[in-house]
Amino acid sequence: MAGANVAVLVGKYAAGATLGTIVVAYGLQEFLSATGHSWFRHAAYQGSAILFTFVGWVILLLTVINLYGELTDS
């Protein structure tokens, strides 16, 4: 694998992992914030936070699976 291809591979999957991590962190922060405060609609905030966290984990999982597949094909 050439140096330019390695740089593209690292950049592509680093971006996916970064996006997944940010979405997971945001979802967890929103969940804990909604749980800690006694907001009137805290269940709605908790539900959307769980959804954000789930989407973040899906992004991370797909990134790792695609990276593994690309590395084993090489």
Q: What is the pLDDT of residues 35-57, one digit of tens each?
A: 887 666 788 888 899 999 999 99
Q: pTM of the entire structure?
A: 0.80
User: For the chain, what is the mean pLDDT?
Assistant: 87
**Residue range 54-69: mean pLDDT, rounded:** 93
3-state percent breakdown (helix, strand, coil) of the chain, nearest 5: 90, 0, 10
Using a 10 angstrom Cβ sphere, with 0-12 exposed, 13-18 middle and 19 or more buried, the burial of residue 45 is middle
Q: Please say whether the beta carbons of 63 and 13 come within 8 A.
A: yes
The structural domain count of the chain equals 1
- pLDDT class of 1 with cuts at 50, 70, 90: low
**Residue range 3-27: mean pLDDT, rounded:** 90
Range of the domain at 58: 3-73
Share of the chain above pLDDT 70, in %: 93
